[in-house]
Amino acid sequence: MMLKKRGFLLFATHLKRPSPRVLKAFIPAILITLLLLVSFSLTGCSSNKILRNYSEIFVTTLNKETDACTNLTADWQKADIDTENGILSFQKILPNHLQVFNDFLVSY
C-alpha cells in the first residue's frame, strides 16, 4: 500500500514540475511561435500599403500604355501608307513608339 502511495506521489510531483529536457524542447517552440505571431501582425499592417502602392503604379502604367496605343493608332491613321513619303514619315515616328513600348516591358 505504501508503495502505491509513493508511486502516485512521485507521478503527481512529476506532473507538477516539468523536467529540464521538456523545458528545453518547449522554449524554442514558444519563441518561434511568438516571433511568427509578431511578424505576421507587422506584415499584415504593411501589406495593405504595399498592395495599394502596387495597384496605383499598375493603374498609372496601364493608363500610360493606353495613351501610347492611342497615339500609335492616331499616327498610323495620319500616315499615308499608300505613298513613299507617308511610309517614310511613319518609319521616322515608329522608333519613338517602340521605345515607349519597350519601357513598358521593362517595368513589368
Domain carrying residue 84: 19-107
Amino acid 86: pLDDT: 84
pLDDT at 2: 47
Mean pLDDT lowest for which of 16-20, 24-28, 54-58, 90-94? 16-20
97 Cβ partners below 8 Å, 6+ apart?
A: 68, 71, 72, 75
Those residues whose C-beta lies under 8 Å from the C-beta of residue 100, and which sit 6 or more positions away, are 68
pTM: 0.50
Cα distance between residue 13 and residue 17, in whole Å: 6
State the residue for C-alpha cell 514558444: 30
Domain count, the chain: 1
Domain-embedded: residue 10: no
Question: Which SS3 state, helix, strand or coil, does residue 51 take?
Answer: helix
Read off the pLDDT of residues 23-70 as tens digits, 9 standing for 90 and up: 677 788 888 888 888 877 766 656 677 788 889 988 998 898 899 999
CB–CB of 104/61 below 8 Å?
Answer: yes
